[in-house]
Structure 1
Amino acid sequence: MGINHKMSFCIPRISLSALLVCFISGIILTCQYYPFGNVFRNVEEITTVIPYGFFFRRLHYASGQLFVILMLIHIVDHFMKRRYKGFSVGKWAGLVIPLIICFFILFTGYILKGDKEGIYAGNIFYNILKEIPVAGETITRFVIRPGEMFFWLPYLYHVFFLPILLIFLIRDHINNWFSQAGFLLFTTAGLFIYSLLVRMPMDIPPHAKIELVKGPWFFLGIQVCLGVLPPIVAGIAAPLIFFAILLLLPGLKGHLQKAVHYGIIFLSLFYTFLVIFGYFFIKHSWVLSR
């Protein structure tokens, strides 16, 4: 078995094992999390006061990040090997849409920290959604609201709606990916060791006076674009167009499919550059250009 085949075989199984660890640790944290009032204090109490709270926060964070990163690698593997050519648009969407959902789960989790970064991320998300013509105000009522309900809707999406939708979409893969218990044991052991030894990024108190506040790593490219483009373009139109093209790729034929394939590679590399630039060189907090 070649190394590429081994990676294609192992990555989705390790990824799903990480998802199970993420679910279990998340359920434990949910018992102590309260999405109203001083959420930052609540999270700090979970981390410093509740027995083993720090461990389960680290475990939840690490397993969630691992799942999404490995799922991203899995889709890139399919894309680069042009396996989408043998897929229908619907079957290909069954791979791409769960990844999009995963990024939203990570983003809502980022908001639920209740620290300065989480609050900034939530406010920017709220303001971007408001920019949607005609339906913006209506959409925000179902996604995120200012005031006392600020964390409530992200909490519902993070804990209930999005995980249930994710499991529904990947249900056909679960039996195959869980066929060998060794992957679950290996992944769980690795995540436990990591969570005991490696600290999470530090939470920033909501009222701390700092000049630089950044979003989650996968949104740094959008954060960079928000400084130079209208919010509706940087935060809504550009991502929607990219994922729409990616989803429709199997339905294209001949030279058009080939051109779109390389166009997606170029755009992905460009966004990766923006993420790296945002991580190392950005000198301002989340801002809107308009």
Structure 2
Amino acid sequence: MRHEPLRQCPCWWKLLSGLFLPCLIISLSSGLVLLFQYRPQGNVFQSVEHITTLVPYGFFFRRLHFASGQACALLALIHVTHHLAKGASARTSLRVWLRLTGGLGICFLLLLTGFILKGDQESVLAGTILKNLAGAVPLVGAWLAPLAVGEGQSFFLPPYIAHCFILPVALLALLHGHLRSWRPDNNTLAIAALLLGGWTVTVPLGLPAPPGMPVDGASGPWFLLGLQELLRLMPPLWGGIILPGLFFVLVAALPILRGRWAKPAHYAVLICVGLYLLLELKRALA
């Protein structure tokens, strides 16, 4: 099986798949509005506060961008998890599988870079950790570290370029063919608008702490809580690079593993996901 037509999917699956595209369009559109107001150099925290408090409807577009971006990542995660749970990865071509998993990875990279671009103390800590992890990569760490975050007044410039230009283009290029089967109907568009509108109005963005202000219990994005716990339990090279790298390689290789290797690899991925969820829960409850 390559691509099962959307009409053959269960109703709930058709709805979830159809929600991704409108959420993506809303995320890109609201991000484009914020792009013209955001200043990636200098006092970025002040720039974000200016957007939130002084720019007309700035707080609305920030919340809308946040909500739609989170929704895109969650829907992509559900889509790939559904493939894993039903064993569809073994019946999917390697090219299609790499596009799906690569798109999911880019969705989370967009969330991570967006988290850093908040410009508050938590984002500075997250950017510093990301730079240290990138610098710990064997052989290419010295080259990767400056691509994570910059220095001084340009600290937020690399994640800004990645978040606003490189990653969105890469995501659209990867999912271009796949999105054709996810075209939503009017009911799906209405549901997406209601859900994102409700989230935008009711869910606050939190009270940011200016850079340099001590923060008790600072944490990164929700999907990296497990990684934070892993880094607490073992050296950064193992917890932040080797183990995650092996997991991603195993996931990417699922379509080409045949015979006696197929089921063990499939179950190994599911076990790793379960263990990571336990780490996420442990960190969240700490």
TM-score (norm 2): 0.93
Are residue 148 (structure 1) and residue 158 (structure 2) matched? no
- Counterpart position of 2:272: 267
- Counterpart position of 2:238: 233
Report the CA distance between 1:50 and its aligned residue.
1.1
Question: Matches of residues 13-92 of structure 1 in structure 2 within 5 Å?
Answer: 13-92=18-97
Moved runs in structure 1, 4+ residues, more than 3 A?
Answer: none
1:157 to 146, 154, 162: 162
Contact 1:21 1:188 in 2 (8 A): no
Contact 1:8 1:77 in 2 (8 A): no
Unaligned stretches of 5+ residues in structure 1 = 282-290
Contact 1:33 1:42 in 2 (8 A): yes
- Counterpart position of 2:223: 218
Partners in 1 of 2:87 and 2:138 — Cα distance?
36
Partners in 2 of 1:73 and 1:179 — Cα distance?
17
- Counterpart position of 1:287: none
- Counterpart position of 2:3: none
Partners in 1 of 2:81 and 2:99 — Cα distance?
14
Partners in 1 of 2:268 and 2:230 — Cα distance?
19
Are residue 198 (structure 1) and residue 203 (structure 2) matched? yes
Cα distance per residue 1:86-111 (max 9 Å; x no partner) = 21222211111100111111100010
Partners in 1 of 2:130 and 2:88 — Cα distance?
34
Amino acid at match of 2:204: R
TM-score (norm 1): 0.92
Larger mean CA deviation between 198-207 and 259-268 belongs to 198-207
1:173 to 175, 178, 197: 178
Contact 2:22 2:184 in 1 (8 A): no
Amino acid at match of 1:262: Y
Partners in 2 of 1:270 and 1:146 — Cα distance?
36
- Counterpart position of 2:104: 99
Cα distance per residue 1:159-201 (max 9 Å; x no partner) = 0000000000000122321252432232123212321222123
Specify the SS of the correspondent of 1:139: helix
1:129 to 134, 139, 145: 134
Amino acid at match of 1:92: W
Partners in 2 of 1:229 and 1:146 — Cα distance?
28
Partners in 1 of 2:232 and 2:90 — Cα distance?
38
- Counterpart position of 2:191: 186
Partners in 2 of 1:37 and 1:181 — Cα distance?
44
Would you say how many aligned residue pairs link Structure 1 and Structure 2? Answer: 281
Partners in 2 of 1:24 and 1:176 — Cα distance?
21
Partners in 2 of 1:40 and 1:129 — Cα distance?
24
Contact 1:108 1:158 in 2 (8 A): yes
Partners in 1 of 2:268 and 2:180 — Cα distance?
35
Indicate how the Cα distance of structure 1 residues 245 and 31 shifts in structure 2: closer, same or farther if over 3 A, else same: same
Contact 1:62 1:195 in 2 (8 A): yes
- Cα-Cα RMSD: 1.8
